[in-house]
Amino acid sequence: MHLILFLAFGAVCVGGAVNLLAQRHPINSALSLIAVMAALAGEYLLLGAEFVAAVQVIVYAGAIMVLFIFVIMLLNAGEEEQTNGSRVAILLGVPGMLTGSVLVAWVVLRHSGTEAVPIGALPGPPKEIAQLLFHDFLLPFEVTSVLILIAIMGAVVLASKPERAEGKAD
Amino acid sequence: MAPSYVPLSYYLLLSGFLFACGVVGFLIKRNIITIFMSIELMLNGVNLSFVAFAAHWHALAGQVFVFFVMVVAAAEAAVGLAIIIAVYRTRETLNVDQVNLLKL
Amino acid sequence: MSTDSLSSIILTLVTFAPLAGGLLLMLLPRRDRDIRIFALVISLLTFVLSLHLPVYFHRAQAGFQYEIDKPWVSTPNIHYHMAVDGISLWLVVLTTFLTPLCVLISWKSIHERVKEFFILLLILETALIGVFTSLDLFLFYFFWEATLIPMALLIGIFGHERKVYAAVKFFMYTMIGSVFMLAAILWLYAHTGSFDFVVIREQIAGGAVPGFSAAAQWLFLGFFLAFAVKVPLFPFHTWLPDAHVEAPTAGSVLLAGVLLKMGTYGLLRFNLGLFPEQSRHNAWWVMTLALIGIIYGALVAMVQPNMKKLIAYSSVSHLGFVVLGIFSFTQAGLNGAMFVMLAHGISTGGLFMLAGILHERRHTYEISEFGGLANPMPIYAASYLVIVLASVGLPLLNGFIGEFLVLSGAFQDKAIYGILGATGIIWSAVYLLWMYQRVFYGTITHPVNNTLGDLSGFEKMAVWPCAAAALVMGVAPILWLGAIDPAVHAALTPFVQVVGRVVGP
Amino acid sequence: MIVNWVATFFPALVQTLPQGADYVRILPEIVLSVFGMIVMVLEPLLDEEQSQKILGLIALVGTLAGLGATWFMAQSPGLAFWNMVQVDEFSVFFHVLVIAIATVVILISYEYMAVQRIRAGEYYALILFGVVGMALMSSAIELVLIFIALEISSISSYVLAGFRRHEAASAESSLKYFLLGSFATAFFLYGVALMFGATGSTNIDQISQTLQSGPIPLLAFVAVAFMFVGLGFKVGAAPFHSWTPDVYEGAPAPIVGLMSTAPKAAAFAVLLRIVFVIDVHAIFYVIWVAAALSMTLGNISAFLQNNVKRLLAYSSIAHAGYLLVAFAAAPGPGISAAMFYTAAYAAMNLGAFAVVSHFANAGERYVTLEDYEGLGRSSPLLAATLTIFLLSLIGIPMTGGFFAKFYVFNAAMKANLIWLTIIGVVNGGVGAYYYLRIIVRMYMRESRKEVPVMPVPFALRLALVACLVATIYLGIFPNSTLQYAQDSAQRLVWQSSFAPVSAEPGTAGTVVKIVKSGI
Amino acid sequence: MNSSLNLWVIPILPLAGAAINGFLGKRSSRQAVSTIALFFSGAVFAMALWVAMRFWFSSLTLPYHEYLAHWIRSGSFSADFAFYLDQLSLVMLLVVTGVGFLIHIYSVGYMWEDPSYYRFFSYLNLFMFFMLTLVLANNYLVMFIGWEGVGLASYLLIGFWFTKDSAASAGKKAFIVNRIGDFGFLIALFLLIKHFGSLNFDQVFQSIAPLAPETAGTGLLTAIGILLMVGACGKSAQIPLYIWLPDAMEGPTPVSALIHAATMVTAGVYMVSRSHVIFERAPTALTVVAIIGTLTAFFAATIGIAQTDIKKVLAYSTVSQLGYMFMACGAGAFSAGIFHLMTHAFFKGLLFLGAGSVIHAVGGEQDMRKMGGLKSFIPWTFLTMGIATLAIAGIPPLAGFWSKDEILWRAYQVSWVYWLIGLITAFITSFYMFRLLYMTFFGDYRGAQADAHGSHGHDAHGHGEPHESPMVMLVPLMILAVLSLLGGLVGIGNRFEHFLAPVFGSVEVVEGASHGTEMLLMGVSVAVALLGWWLAYLLYYSRPELPQRIADALGGFYQTVVHKYYVDEIYAALFVKPLIDGSTRILWQDVDRKIIDTAVNDAGDGARRVSDEARHMQSGNIRSYAAWIAAGSAVVIAFMVWMGSR
């Protein structure tokens, strides 16, 4: 049962990821990314991480991807042009990436094998997560606020229209 | 819920695949926004690993890590998209191959 | 202050007096005259201070004197360790002797950025003295590298047409050469735990350095390369003509007079001192290179149309003598090598000054531009002749003593070295006298040369001490050899296996 | 105090609330964040003219307060926030370094802001917040926190790089930095995930203990590889260096000064912890190669560079290479050499960028070598200052750069990395060429273009003097700094829960042997 | 026991003169300059005479050593300023100071008009200093000071009229050729140091004296001897290094007389004689000396036949006469060599001074074809030169007869070949010397009435017709003429040989049987000399048209002789040109510039090219950068996996 669900969600994930690469219009890519994320949420559920799954859908698929689509719309991004700016990317990057992934896959398989080991009781009740988040990981949690502050400021600075303060440098 | 009978390595392979797709996307896509999406794909792949390992080790830290990754991803998205807008304003293009003023 | 307490800090004083002067000079307002006078005073003061060294030097004593040894950096174990022996003593004095002359010769010829010029000159002096006085390998390297910048700037800022090319070439060549020495120094430190020359030497001699036998050849080469570039030994010499031709007169004087000696001094002090075994093994090809340098340098000098280039190539030839003497491992050879260093410093320094004087008047070094100058400039011609003869190696002038001893030493080592080397005395006569003839004899071919003025007061003050020194060194070399001889003898003690050679003549 | 008071009355809370000491141990971060927020809040309240000066002053006060806070922090070493951060000499060293860099950068920016007409509020706030991240990186011992701190410093850098956003170059620089930075972060993160998978922990100490207890799982090797890729990117080591020149060229000059020093130093701090605490020996070979490659590639590429900023970018790659040489060397002298190097490099590079940013003028128009021609004559003091920094970068005696290089190569030689040392010293020799080109242009060429020379304002003067003093101080009296670095290195190695290093050939020796046998 | 002679004063005196004139002469009057010069050269002559007197009256025993000061000390080797006087050096001392003083006097008149009057006397005194150092040296190295120093003085004096290119070149040539000889000398010294540890005459000779003569061909002493001979060849203008001496005639005539005839050029002979201990034990070296001497004597004499420049004739004659001296040395008759050295100093000095007087008389003309019939214009010069010619031709009882005959006799004892060649040379000598005499003084005056050679300054008081020189020039001529007449008499009955016996060893007892032979040979040589005279009379006095016909008949051979066998040209083609061209083209242009420097610059360019390539990695494209990262990480991962799974 789990395996079937895993495979189903996994198929969506793989399909979505490949589709993201295959699609030439960014909107389509974004939509396939949303599919991937949704499917991943399913995988999280399978792994017993309900809370993560929920956040995945809300924050990731919801908020972040909406932002993406918003920007795509804002910039009125059209279809991708097939320029060849980088031969290196194809000649060096992709083979490199393939070798890397094959190696990692091999390591992963060697590390955990393919036996269907039950991976344990689901450890993800929100309460325990909260305990962790607000106690053990209190500092990172608080520091995140600085991160978000920076992000906000950055977004404001970079995306605001350049008419206000600086004017034209002459 | 009942214990999972899916091997850990399947999750890890899926996670690796997503990560690899992200890398490939970065390498072959021309649209900056799509490239950025590829990065998100990579992060998602990593997240899957975290959750899988968390389940494997019975350690919630992995799941907590995912939250932080999501926050970071959100922050990155905000800043990144702002940067993309800024680039679009100055260069009138989203094709990454044409953003190459600075070179050599 | 009593002489004893002065003796204990004299090296520090001598070394850093010019630097202090240079720093003070920075604060002085840009009034060229004041700056010149100040620089002269500082350099003279340094010279007077440095005279303390030979005056109170215990000549019969071979070891290091005026020693200061204070920890500077604890880890790595760097000491402020300075001392001189009969070998370095004279090189220090040579430096302090030449610098005031450099100031004098630059009195009129440098009229732009005067302040910078003299600051650089004084900094250079400190670095040069430091090279000769430091006994800590780190300190040595420190000063060694420190000479590069002021010299490169002197060439690059105050030089002639292709100054940038020359400055960069000089800098890069010596820089790259010296990094191998750095690697060797680091190896020694890693395996001995000390930068102290004396300590390392003892450890090596005592066989207490692990892995030394395997690395020794490389270490030898590491040091050798840095020094060979500096000497410069054939085929590492091509930076020299360029650097000399483009350098301002004072730069050339110090470059030929002192900087090149850093290389030979290093060979003598470090290659021979630390790696006697390897020095002996490698002597044959080093001496071959030296011989090539002697003959090749002379032949190429002979056909140079440019006076400064000619003198530069003659330096290649002369320094070949030094290396030949050093690697003969004979008392005479080493004494001679030391003496050639000093003599070459004086006479080639003088030649460069004289060339510079001519350049100031005619803005060219091309020999063909001159001819018949002995008539309008008799004093200049006479001074030039004295220096030329010193360089040619006429007995009773300084060049002869060193060359004779070197060749005698080389001959004792292997007859063929002495014989081939001795051809150098023919070549030097050929190229220098030919040049002298073309510049001073015959009728005047360029009318402008008729109007050239003879030596001015400052120029006399700069050139004549050189001529006088050349004469004194030729007549009374014993004043120098008295201190050199025991030091050289001590330097040769590791080679004591060949007893006959060492204690013999 | 308050905490104590709370503890008396609500004993149950003691367990859950952080102790007072915990706050002291992140005091600099707190102070900097507070000042960052003050700047941020004040910005809309002030008009353009005032804001630049006042906010700059506040930011300056903030960094100085941060330095003061560091002093307090240094007084109470130890763990805080449930093994999240650790205050020891090591982290104090980098705190001081990073905050001092920020101070100088703010001083440099003072003039730059006015000339470039950049909005001051966000700028200073971002610097302060970024410094929080960098400071945290050096004291964090938990991968989660390291990751967050890394992101803070990165994201603020991305934004700062794009601050001249009406300039296409600046936006592009920002974009490149951002995309590649995120890309590399993903690698780092994947490495963290794999490390978590291999050990079940994200705490560095725990990871190291787990790894020590048995044979190191293959997964950990891969994890370290991924983490190295991420950090290698941040420090600009070859082959992950490609972003540096482009980003440095486009970003505002003072920010380049910041980027090339502070986040790098912090990333090096993280790398030091990861390399030496999570001790997976094989990474030393990788570092060996990366070091050699960085030095060579950085130096070679810089040869023909005509843009000074870009030239300095390549130089920073080369310097990352020298630093990695120290990493490849044994822990003992290697760590302290690396720490000394970061400090010296910060002083001289920041100084160089201070001059560059002053000289660049409005819109950064004057950044090519041609513009520097004749600078020695038109502006002798500035040229002399730049010359000293460049000489230090070359590694000429009497400057910090000399001792930095010297220590690094000394460490390498101690670890018997003879070939790496030779590659290093040769690079040091060859690399002199391009710095020399600048000096040559300044002093040995006459100006061909009309390049305005502005008077040097007080703040910049202060910054230059600070850098100059630091550079020369490190060049003549390296002892105290090095001694401090050595102590902290000792501590770092001691606390890493395996046998003491310098006494026992166990760790250092084996590393050395492995590395030596392979190379 | 000798009281100190203060020999060091002897060289120092002329040095003082040189210094005073050199530094102050420019601002002094000619009178002051001449006073100084004459005072110092006179004083030194007086002192030499005083020393000789003391020896004569037995208040001085020879050899005499005097130590002055340290010079070079290196390890156990030392060479100090120390002086040595024995009969040999005493003879040299007297000759050098005596002839030197006379020539100083002569020069006052000869150089009076020269603008650089002071410089001339400064140089001349300097020469005296070095020559006396050479003569009085106690060791080879101090001798070498003098040896090189006279070379310097010669260089300066030959190039005295330096505005003339030929003079400057000749000076340089003299110095360089001398240096080539010195090269051999130096090597010999190195051998001495290496094997005997010293250069002191006493020590060296004491070590060598016990050694047996070496068998032919090999051996240390042979090598030393031959190398010393190389040095002597340079200084004393022997084959193959004689080429500088004829050119040296570019110098003022008193210089030719003093340096290039009477004193300096004989230094080689002196040195070889001084080293007789070595040569006596190295028969091969001795043979080499003899062969070189004989060949040079003959060879130079043949060139002398065809020369038309009066000084060139004398120059080749000098070379030839020096050959005689070496022939003597080679035959082991060192005292004969020295005897000839002395007499030659008299008559050749006289000849040169006479030639100078002639040149002076005809306003600087040196070509004999433009002279003739001068005996009535300058009778004193004619008279004195005539005596000298008789002396050099070997007409008894003049000086040359005795010394030359001694040499020929001693040569005959070694081998008749030497004797024969020597005899033929004597004939040629007699011929060209009388040729010179006839061409110059007999017949009609062929010179221009007013001459254009105003460049030398010594003829400024324009010439109506040839005129006699002033007394200041004639007196030295007369004194030398007297010496040429009578100087040979000291050799009668081997008295000269006996005088030098303490140096060279006792005179061999001459067997009675050979006494007749000696007389016979003497007669032959006198006959030959007269024959030469007759031939010269025939060709250049009674039948003056004959020489041209003979020259035409001989054609190419005559041309070869006129052009001195093209030796200069051959040297130029063989050595000078290849050396200069080779150095320019191969060493400098090819090796230095094209190979070494290009390699250096190419390394730099190569680095720049590589840099350019490396820069192109930096394409500006983000995807490429990502590719680098990806590929790099793949490598890192692969490596780590490999390491981990090992």
Q: Phi and psi of A75, rounded to 5°? A: -85, -5
CB contact under 8 A, A93 and E641: no
Residues whose CB is less than 8 angstroms from the CB of residue C465 and which lie 6 or more positions away in sequence, other chains included: C97, C101
List residues of E whose CB lies inside 8 A of any A CB. Answer: 619, 621, 623-624, 626-628, 630-635, 637-638, 641, 644-645
Q: How confident is the model at residue A122 (pLDDT cuts 50, 70, 90)?
A: low
Helix (H) or strand (E) holding E81: strand E77-85
Rounded to an integer, the average pLDDT of C169-194 is 88
Report whether pLDDT(E410) > 70: yes
- pLDDT tens profile B28-87: 888 899 999 999 999 999 999 998 888 888 888 888 889 899 999 999 999 999 999 888
Subunits next to E (3 or more Cβ pairs <8 Å) are: A, B, C, D
Q: Specify the range with the lowest mean pLDDT, choosing from C167-171, E388-392, E575-579.
A: E575-579
- pLDDT tens profile C235-273: 888 888 888 888 998 999 999 989 999 999 999 999 988
| CATH assignment at residue A10 | 1.20.120.1200
Give the minimum alpha-carbon distance from A158 to chain E in angstroms, rounded to a whole number: 20
Which tokens is C176 given?
A: 């790259």
Pair C46, C18: CB distance under 8 Å: yes
Degrees, nearest 5: CA angle D478-D481-D486: 110
- The answer to the question of residue A100 being in a domain is no
pTM summary value:
0.88
- What number of C-beta contacts closer than 8 Å exist between B and E? 32
Nearest partner of B1 among A1, A36, A39, judged by Cα: A1
Q: Is D399 on the interface with C (CB under 8 A)?
A: no
List residues of B whose CB lies inside 8 A of any E CB. Answer: 23, 26-28, 35, 96-97, 99-104
Mark which residues 603-632 of E lie under 8 Å from C by CB. Answer: 604
Rounded to an integer, the average pLDDT of E491-499 is 79
Q: Give pLDDT, residue A121.
A: 54
Pick from A154-168, E462-476, E590-604 the range whose average pLDDT is largest: E590-604
Pair D408, D330: CB distance under 8 Å: no
Residue C223 is which amino acid? F
Q: Which chain D residues have a beta carbon less than 8 Å from that of E620?
A: 246
- The answer to the question of residue A88 being in a domain is no
- Identify the sign of the CA torsion E396, E401, E405, E406: positive
Report whether pLDDT(E461) > 90: no
Q: Give pLDDT, residue E459.
A: 44
CA pair distance E168, C366, nearest whole angstrom: 20
Pick the residue from chain B with its C-alpha nearest to A112. B9
CB contact under 8 A, E179 and C478: no
Q: Give pLDDT, residue D282.
A: 83
Q: Give pLDDT, residue B99.
A: 82
- pLDDT tens profile E390-404: 888 888 888 888 888
Which tokens is E555 given?
A: 């054609």
CA pair distance D147, D59, nearest whole angstrom: 25
The CA-based dihedral angle spanning residues E42, E46, E47, E48, taken in that order and rounded to the nearest 10 degrees: 100
Following DSSP, what letter does each residue of A141-164 receive, concatenated?
HHHHHHHHHHHHHHHHHHHS-TTT
Report whether pLDDT(C110) > 80: yes
Q: Which residue carries 């150089």 as its tokens?
A: E111
Q: Give pLDDT, residue E517.
A: 80
Q: Give pLDDT, residue A118.
A: 57
Report whether pLDDT(C3) > 70: no
Asked if A1 and A68 sit in the same domain, the reply is yes
Q: Do chains D and E touch (3 or more CB pairs under 8 A)?
A: yes
Q: Which chain C residues have a beta carbon less than 8 Å from that of D398?
A: 142, 146
Q: Which residue carries 């031959």 as its tokens?
A: E226
CA pair distance C401, C386, nearest whole angstrom: 16
CA pair distance C350, C343, nearest whole angstrom: 10
CA pair distance D180, D166, nearest whole angstrom: 22
Secondary structure (H, E, C), C50-79: HHHHHHCCCCCCCCCEEEEEEEEECCCCEE
List residues of D whose CB lies inside 8 A of any B CB. Answer: 144, 147-148, 151, 155, 158-159, 162, 165-169, 171-176, 178-179, 182-183, 185-186, 189-190, 192-194, 196-197, 200-202, 245-247, 249-250
Q: Which chain B residues have a beta carbon less than 8 Å from that of E621?
A: 96-97, 100, 103
Q: Is A108 on the interface with E (CB under 8 A)?
A: no
- Identify the sign of the CA torsion E144, E146, E151, E152: positive
Q: Which residue carries 């030689």 as its tokens?
A: D413
Which tokens is A91 given?
A: 């000649």
Mutate to test the interface with D, among A86, A102, A139, A158 (most CBs of D within 10 A): A139
Q: Give pLDDT, residue A165.
A: 44
Nearest partner of E268 among E345, E322, E318, judged by Cα: E322
Q: Which domain does A4 fall in, by range? A: 1-79
Rounded to an integer, the average pLDDT of E191-200 is 88
Q: Do chains E and A touch (3 or more CB pairs under 8 A)?
A: yes
Q: Is D479 on the interface with C (CB under 8 A)?
A: yes
Rounded to an integer, the average pLDDT of C316-344 is 91
The SS3 assignment for A106 reads helix
ipTM: 0.88
Which tokens is E169 given?
A: 């070149």
Q: How confident is the model at residue A123 (pLDDT cuts 50, 70, 90)?
A: low
Pair E186, E147: CB distance under 8 Å: no
E64-74/E77-85 β-pairing = antiparallel
- pLDDT tens profile D363-411: 778 888 888 888 888 888 888 899 999 999 998 888 899 889 988 998 8
Q: Which chain B residues have a beta carbon less than 8 Å from that of D180?
A: none
- Rg of chain B on CA atoms, in Å: 17
Nearest partner of C251 among C322, C331, C323, C150, judged by Cα: C150
- pLDDT tens profile A12-52: 999 999 998 888 888 899 999 999 999 999 888 888 888 88
The SS3 assignment for D478 reads coil
Following DSSP, what letter does each residue of E157-205 receive, concatenated?
HHTTSTTSHHHHHHHHHHHHHHHHHHHHHHHHHHHHHHHHS--BHHHHH
| Tally of CB atoms within 10 A around D184 | 22
Residues whose CB is less than 8 angstroms from the CB of residue D264 and which lie 6 or more positions away in sequence, other chains included: D234, D235, D236, D316, D320, D342
Q: Which chain E residues have a beta carbon less than 8 Å from that of C418?
A: 187, 190
Give the minimum alpha-carbon distance from D151 to chain A in angstroms, rounded to a whole number: 7
- pLDDT tens profile E16-66: 999 998 888 888 888 888 888 899 989 999 999 998 888 888 777 878 888
CA pair distance E229, C17, nearest whole angstrom: 55
Give the minimum alpha-carbon distance from E601 to chain C in angstroms, rounded to a whole number: 9
Q: Give pLDDT, residue D101.
A: 94
Q: Give pLDDT, residue E510.
A: 52
Q: Which chain A residues have a beta carbon less than 8 Å from that of D152?
A: 143, 146-147, 150
- The answer to the question of residue A146 being in a domain is yes
Q: Which chain D residues have a beta carbon less than 8 Å from that of E632?
A: 229, 232, 238-240
CA pair distance D313, A74, nearest whole angstrom: 35
Whether the bond between E397 and the residue before it is cis, its omega within 30 degrees of 0, is yes
CA pair distance D23, D81, nearest whole angstrom: 8
Residue D432 is which amino acid? A
Pick the residue from chain D with its C-alpha nearest to C195. D410
- The answer to the question of residue A97 being in a domain is no
- Rg of chain A on CA atoms, in Å: 21
CB contact under 8 A, C190 and D445: no
CB nearest E600 (choices: C238, C332, C401): C238
Pair C241, C309: CB distance under 8 Å: yes
Pick the residue from chain E with its C-alpha nearest to A97. E630
Q: Give pLDDT, residue E217.
A: 54
Following DSSP, what letter does each residue of E359-373 receive, concatenated?
HHHTTS--BGGG---
The SS3 assignment for D488 reads helix
| Number of domains present in the structure of chain A | 2
- The answer to the question of residue A14 being in a domain is yes
- What number of C-beta contacts closer than 8 Å exist between C and D? 95
CA pair distance D341, D402, nearest whole angstrom: 10
Report whether pLDDT(E333) > 90: no
CA pair distance E451, A150, nearest whole angstrom: 106
Pick the residue from chain A with its C-alpha nearest to D147. A140
CA pair distance A147, D157, nearest whole angstrom: 12
- The answer to the question of residue A67 being in a domain is yes
CB contact under 8 A, D409 and C149: no
Pick the residue from chain E with its C-alpha nearest to C401. E72
Secondary structure (H, E, C), E495-558: HHHHHHHHHHCCCCCCCHHHHHHHHHHHHHHHHHHHHHHHHHHHHHHHCCCHHHHHHHHHCHHH
Rounded to an integer, the average pLDDT of E568-583 is 83
Q: C-alpha distances in angstroms, E346 versus B83, E51, E400, E478?
A: 108, 21, 9, 11
Q: Which residue carries 């004593």 as its tokens?
A: C61
Instruction: Kindly state the DSSP code that residue A81 receives in the 8-state scheme.
Output: P
Which residues in chain D come in under a pLDDT of 50? 497-519
Pair B30, A81: CB distance under 8 Å: yes
CB contact under 8 A, E145 and C395: yes
Q: Give pLDDT, residue E449.
A: 53
Q: Which chain B residues have a beta carbon less than 8 Å from that of D186?
A: 19, 22, 39, 42-43, 46
Q: Give pLDDT, residue E497.
A: 82
Helix (H) or strand (E) holding E74: strand E64-74
Instruction: Determine the angle formed by the axes of helices D331-360 and D262-277, rounding to 10 degrees.
Output: 170
Report whether pLDDT(C47) > 90: yes
CA pair distance E18, E40, nearest whole angstrom: 9
Q: Which chain D residues have a beta carbon less than 8 Å from that of B87?
A: 171-172, 174-175
Nearest partner of E238 among E355, E124, E169, E330, judged by Cα: E330
Q: Specify the range with the lowest mean pLDDT, choosing from A146-150, C325-329, D44-48.
A: D44-48
Degrees, nearest 5: CA angle B38-B42-B46: 165
Which tokens is D118 given?
A: 């950049």
Secondary structure (H, E, C), E450-503: CCCCCCCCCCCCCCCCCCCCCHHHHHHHHHHHHHHHHHHHHHHHHHHHHHHHHH
Pick the residue from chain E with its C-alpha nearest to A104. E637
Give domain B8-98's CATH architecture: Orthogonal Bundle (1.10)
